[in-house]
Each structure stands twice: as C-alpha cells, then as structure tokens.
Amino acid sequence: MFSPLLNDDSGNQLASPQQNRPVHSWVNIALILILLAISFGISCTFGAFFTTLRYEFGWSHATTSALFSLHLLTAGIFSLLSIWTINNYGTKWIVFIMGIISGLSLFLCSHVEHGWQLFLVYGVLLSLSTGVAGIIVMSICHKCFHRRIGTSIGVISIGVGLGIAAIFPAESWLISKYGWQDAFLISSVLAWCLMLPASLFLKETSNEIVDIPYTEPFPYENGLGCSPVSRPSSTQNSMHTLNYLLSFGILFAYSFCFYMVLSHFIPRLESMGFDSVDAGATLGLMGLAIVFSRLMIGFSGDALDKKPVAMIFVLLHAMALFWLVDSDDMWMFYLFATVYGTTLGGIDLPISAVLGNDIRFWKADTRLLIVISGWFLGAGAGPLFTGLVLDHTGNYEFAFFFGGTIMVLAAIFIWGMKLHQQHTLESKEVDP
C-alpha cells in the first residue's frame, strides 16, 4: 500500500516525495511552455522569411519551400532518435543542449552567403533542436501527471500559440526594418538568453508509475487510450493497431495543412499586395486563437468525450481552408486566422491520449515510431507541395482546396477510431 506520509526512525512523519511532485511538475510545465514558445516560434516562422529569401537567392517557390520541408523532415528523424536519448539521459541537459544548438544555428543563419549553406544550417542543424521539443512535451506530461494529462498538455501546448502570436509579427517587423540576416541574429540572442536559463531550472522526474490509490477513471478511459497501470489486453492491442493506422493519416493531414499555412500564408498575402507586417500580425491573431482554444480544451479535455470534439474541430479546420481558397480581402484573412487558430486546439488531445499512453508502455515501439513519422512526413510534404503547385499554376487555390479535402478525410479517420471500455480503479485503503 502507498502511504502519503512516511515515518523516520524516531517516529516522526516525513513528507512523501509525491507531495513535492505537483510543485515540481507545474514548474516543469511552465518552463517547457516557455521553451516551446521560443523554440517553435523561432524555428517555424519561416513564412516571414519566405519571400525575402526567395528573392535573395533567386529560388523558385518550390526550392524555397524545400528548405522548410528539409528542416521539418530532419527534425522528424531527430525526434524519433530523441525518444531513446530522453529515456536514458533525462530531459534537463537535453533541453540545455537544445538551447545551445538553437542559438548557434540561428547565429550561423545570419552569416550565410550562399543558398546551400542555409540548407545545411537551417535545414539540418537547427532541426537538431526543434525535433526534440515535441517528445520533451510528451515526456514531461506523462512523467509528471497520471490523471490530469490533458490539462498539462493543454497548458504546455499554448506555447505553440504564444510563439506564433509573439514571434511571427516580430520577425516580420525585424525583416522589414533591418533585413533577414539581422532578424536571424536577434533571434539567436533571444534563444540563448531565454532557453538556456529556463533549462537549468527543470526538475528531473522519475519514469516509475507509482501505485497511487486513484478512485476515478484515468483520463484516457473515456477517450482513446487505456489505463497506464495495466498492460493492454489482446483486444486492446488490436484496437491500438487500428488507432495507429488511422492516427498516421490524421497526423499526416493535420501537419500537412498546418505547416502549409505557416509557410505560405504570409507569401500569399504579399503576392496580393498586402504589407508583410500586416500579414505577420494576422498570423499573430491566429496564435492568440490557438492559445485560447488550447486553454479551453486543455482544462476541460480530461472530462470531454474526445472523439466527437476532435471531429468537430477537424471539420471546422477543413472549412477554414476552403474559405481561404477565395479570400481576397483583409477582413477575410482575419476571420480565417481566428477560426483556423481556434480549430488547432481541438485535434491534439485525442491523438496525444493514444500516443502518450504508448510512450509510457513501449517508449520506442515500432508502431509508435511509424505514427509519429506521419506528423513529420505531412509537415515536410505540405510546404513543398504548395510551392510546386504555385510554380505550376501561379496561384494557391488548388493547394488550399486540397488541404481542406484531406482534413475531411481526417475527420472520417477519427470517426473510425475504436474506443476502449471504461472502467474505474478500485480504491485502496491507505495505511495509517
């Protein structure tokens, strides 16, 4: 039996390590939120640099898009490798190294003179840092929390929205005011000054699953996962297999559209004659919508039936992309940014419930690696596909329509996912 209080040799009661765990857990959550905002915001604001880099190096839309696609695909490879690294070496020093590499990569980006150097530094070296971020988020949440995992993921993942809301407009302004090289240089200083100190305050947490007397269902059990205190049965394994296959398609479609918008939304507005700073501010609005949505879904997600919620948000995601096809006025882009940003908070939790549960059981299970690869394959394909379409057709309409179509398919995949049966753990008496 697990007792919340332990006795020392003299009979005095000592605080259990678990009593300190919530404080350390929420400190970690806050620090990872900051790190994710800086890491994601700096590395994924490529759309702000898109047009400037294309003219600087004389690239086509496809070649410019290929730089971002290379970064995302390479980040995916490093993300898969980082699962083993984090499980063996912990998160604190991995995050510290991540901060060093982020600042160094951006510093080198500010000094490149040839296009191939940017492919090497931004496309490969920077991805060493950004590829680890998503796995660290999952690791911290599932090490620190057993019941309120949805809440912790929701709180951390608002870092994505904060990064977009703050850094996209800032990068657009810096590029217009000082040029793309100085913008990279300032970003490198920001990465070092914020990421390195924050990493030093991270608290390492145990991988152990402690036998705590829970009397309520785990958050996965009315969603898509199974209880982390027992190995899945053969029936649950078959459900996992189907969920893995469908999750691959969902993650591919979701990341395809997400990174397509991040990389080509600002160039789309610039090609229509809108100011780049105004375009960056529009994406900033999208970032604020992401923050609001993920806060609401995160704090209520453990009590929600995740499957219908995810379907609703994915269909709204598709409708927003269809709306973007014929948008030609600034108010239409503001509306798109608000709706699209809001939808981005609804799809994460059900997928995280499946993937996070299996990270705890198998860590580097082959099926899990395949599913995670779906996200990065979609991320790499979205920008490049859109660049190719733009070079061949001269407009974005087909690319955005295609994105909306595959998100409709993603909603069908979510509908096809199998739910695990609910059950409540029996309470255990606590020793006096």
Pairing assessment for the beta strands 5-7 and 13-15 based on DSSP bridges: antiparallel
- Residue showing tokens 């912790």: 152
Q: What is the pLDDT of residues 22-64, one digit of tens each?
A: 545 667 777 777 777 887 888 788 999 999 999 999 999 999 9
Q: What is the pLDDT of residues 2-25, one digit of tens each?
A: 333 333 444 444 444 444 445 456
Measured CA to CA, the distance from residue 138 to residue 91 in angstroms comes to: 11
Measured CA to CA, the distance from residue 35 to residue 32 in angstroms comes to: 5
Q: Where do the H-state alpha helices sit in 90-233? A: 92-109, 115-120, 126-144, 149-178, 180-200
User: Coil, strand or helix: which one is 5?
Assistant: strand
Closest CA to 139 of 174, 178, 110, 98: 98
How confident is residue 377, by pLDDT bands cut at 50, 70 and 90? very high
pLDDT of 311 over the 50 cut: yes
DSSP 67-89: HHHHHHHHHHHHHHHHHHHHHHH
- Answer for the pair 165, 284: CB distance below 8 angstroms, yes or no: yes
All structural domains of the chain with their residue ranges = 15-206+219-416
Q: What's the average model confidence in pLDDT over 304-319?
A: 83
User: Coil, strand or helix: which one is 212?
Assistant: coil
- How many CB atoms neighbour CB 303 within 10 A? 10
pLDDT of 422 over the 60 cut: no
Percent helix, strand and coil across the chain, each to the nearest 5: 75, 0, 20
- Answer for the pair 401, 393: CB distance below 8 angstroms, yes or no: no
Q: What is the pLDDT of residues 132-177, one digit of tens each?
A: 766 666 666 555 555 555 555 556 667 788 888 888 899 999 999 9
Query: 329-359 as b/e, with b when 16 or more CB fall inside 10 Å?
Result: eeeebebbbbbbbbbbbbbbbbbbbbbbbbb
Reply yes or no on domain 15-206+219-416 having CATH 1.20.1250.20. Answer: yes
